[in-house]
Amino acid sequence: MTLLTVIPTSTSRPLTWRTALLLARSRRLANRFLAAVIARHERHATRVAMHRLDDRQLKDIAMVRTQIDSRLEELAQTRARMQQPGWH
């Protein structure tokens, strides 16, 4: 084996790995961004739906109108904890 046959494989492999790593990180970033956009849209839709309920319907689910935003925030935090790796 000569030195010329070893050089191209050793130099192209790190470039390939770096490209694959960059693509994987880019995909993860895009997935996280889209997940955040979807979650924000869902929270907004839930907030609008809850505000459209009348006081009697809110009382049926043991809530008052002033608790809507705080309860939705608690649910968002719980959902975020559940999506963390290692949550059981």
Contact call for residues 72 and 43 (beta carbons, < 8 A): yes
3-state secondary structure (DSSP) of residue 83: coil
* Amino acid 8: pLDDT: 53
pLDDT in tens, 16-73: 888 999 999 999 999 989 988 998 999 999 999 999 999 999 999 999 999 999 999 9
Instruction: Write down the mean pLDDT value for the chain.
Output: 85
- The stretches of 1-88 forming alpha helices (DSSP H) are 3-52, 55-60, 68-82
- Higher pLDDT: 1 or 76? It is 76
Burial track 16-39 (b if 16+ CB lie within 10 A, e otherwise): eeeeeeeeeeeeeeeeeeeeeeee
Residue type, 69: D
pTM of the model: 0.65
* 82 has pLDDT over 60: yes
